[in-house]
Amino acid sequence: MVDQILAGGATSLVNLVIHALVMGALVHLVLGMAGRGTGAPEFMRYTVVIVTTGAVLYAAHFAEILLWAYTYAAVGAAPPGTDLVYFAFSNYTTLGYGDILPVDHWRLLAPMTALNGIMLIGWSTA
């Protein structure tokens, strides 16, 4: 169980760092845009900020999901032939169809992925 906690904890920690960097950059960008008058209507500036923020956060979450997929591959957490990105996406978003189950030794990684996803999606929403 210690190896599962170490692998899942390390992946979660790296994802937290990724998310903190992306969120920090977005906050810096948005605050910088708030003080500038571009001549464009205010609602258009807000639209650009919202769409850009959403796209960047989506890309960040996708990168974090890819990191989980890489972790699954590195430790052999899924049965052979599993689409690891799909498996990681399902766990990260807590969708959890249950059509793919981790191998017994690495079962703890699935709920750790879900916890990490809930935290980071919630952070993005906040």
Task: Specify the pLDDT at position 23.
Answer: 95
Predicted pLDDT of residue 2: 95
- Which pLDDT value is given to residue 4? 95
The pLDDT tens digits of the residues spanning 48-60 come to 888 989 999 999 9
Tokens of residue 12, six digits: 């979660």
**pTM of the shown model:** 0.89
Q: What is the predicted pLDDT for the residue at 36?
A: 65
Can you give the pLDDT at residue 38? 63
Say how far apart CA 93 and CA 87 lie, in whole Å.
10
What's the mean pLDDT when you consider all of the chain?
A: 92
User: Measured between alpha carbons, how far is 89 from 117 in angstroms, rounded to an integer?
Assistant: 9
Q: What is the predicted pLDDT for the residue at 34?
A: 65
The pLDDT assigned to 96 comes to 83
Task: Name the stretches of the chain with pLDDT < 70.
Answer: 34-40
Alpha helices by DSSP H, the chain: 2-34, 42-75, 84-92, 109-125
pLDDT score of 37: 63
